[in-house]
Structure 1
Amino acid sequence: MPRSEATTASEVDSGHIVDLERALARVAYLLTRVRRHDQAMVQCGLTMDRASVPLLRLLADADEPMRLGELATRLDVEAPHVSRQIQRLEKAGYVERVADPDDRRAQRVRPTAAGTRAVEAIREVLRGWMRDALSDWSSEDLKSLAVLNHRMVDAFLDHAEIIGDFGATARERGTRSA
């Protein structure tokens, strides 16, 4: 068969990559819509800026309090953005500043008990939406989806490290599944 009529493996893979990118864009859009955030806040009984949620989630998942610069790096945003969000979260009682044991002049941030409860409430709402949306999927399909998603994220993180993005936390990398 002449080359122009044959489909190469890389061409097939390129088509799958295009489909995957589209699917991921759709998922990202669905998960980050303002209306979805507002609905989640109502269900949780919380009042929180949409930009504060990933920041608070990152802090809740951290093994120890974090510096603002580290938060900015991990979220790939400018430091002033993180400072403003931390001030809002602190005012709302979701985070607190603590002394940095390595540098007395610096401070770190950690979630308060209220902040940890808020993250769990948000996660429970999101998990409920996922349970409802995927209720007709088999347990095996859900497991496969989770395994493949973790594998994909790990591959993205490995690639990011190659190009110099070291923002991933150990916990983010610790989700590898067989």
Structure 2
Amino acid sequence: MVELERALARVAYLLTRVRRHDQAMVQCGFSMDRASVPLLRLLADADEPMRLGELATRLDVEAPHVSRQIQRLEKAGYVERVADPGDRRAQLVRPTASGRSAVEAIRQVMRGWMRDALAEWDTEDLEALARLNHRMVDDFLDHAEVIGDYGATARERPSRSA
């Protein structure tokens, strides 16, 4: 487990560096901050517009963070707010055509980097890597559902009255 944790930390580090993000923005011809990219990707992948609270929940961040990012993305023309047909008082957010183009351009840059870095890998190894990564993420998500308020499983969580 130690080596797996170290490998995952290295991958996370490589994928989240400011320099890497800045290079991707130059290559794809779009401009946005690092925190906006996962948010815009989530919106672009959604079948329908989403509420800010749902975005915060799915990204596991605080709602004010999402609100600030949406304001930036809206100002840049990447997203737009629309009325919620089920509740006229609420607003939903969806990507604009420019936002969808930005996501696709960013994905193309990232895929190009992966293609270059993994050029020596055979198809079977790439498929196995993708399959195992999906399995790992699914298991992490399944496990996260049983994590309590204190980072312990429900069985180990201290009572609130204590």
TM-score when normalising by structure 1: 0.81
Question: Residue 162 of structure 1: SS of its match in structure 2?
Answer: coil
Where does residue 78 of structure 1 map in the other structure? 62
Query: Aligned partners of 2:95, 2:12: CA distance in 1, in Å?
Result: 25
Letter of the structure 2 residue corresponding to residue 37 of structure 1? H
Report the Cα offset of residue 81 of structure 1: 1.1
For the pair 1:129 / 2:113, whether they are aligned, the reply is: yes
Q: What is the alpha-carbon root mean square deviation over aligned residues?
A: 1.2
**Unmatched segments (≥5 aa) in structure 2:** 150-162
Q: Figure out how many residues of one structure are paired with residues of the other and give that number.
A: 149
Shift of 1:162: 2.4
C-alpha distance in 1 between matches for 2:100 and 2:25: 15
TM-score by length of 2: 0.89
Q: 1:96 maps to which residue?
A: 80
Q: Which of 63, 74, 79 is the matching residue for 2:47?
A: 63
C-alpha displacement of 1:74: 1.2
* Separation of aligned partners in 2, 1:164 and 1:55: 25
Aligned residue number for residue 110 of structure 1? 94
Q: Does residue 43 of the first structure (1) align with residue 27 of the second (2)?
A: yes
User: How high is the sequence identity, in percent, across the aligned residues?
Assistant: 87
Q: Which residue of 2 aligns with 1:31?
A: 15
1:58-112 deviation line (CA, Å, top 9, x unaligned): 1111111110011111111111111111011001110000111221100000001
Shift of 1:161: 1.9
Amino acid at match of 1:151: R
What does residue range 8-19 of structure 1 map to in structure 2 within 5 Å? 17-19=1-3
Runs of 4+ in 1 over 4 A off after TM superposition: none
Which position in structure 1 is the counterpart of 2:4?
20
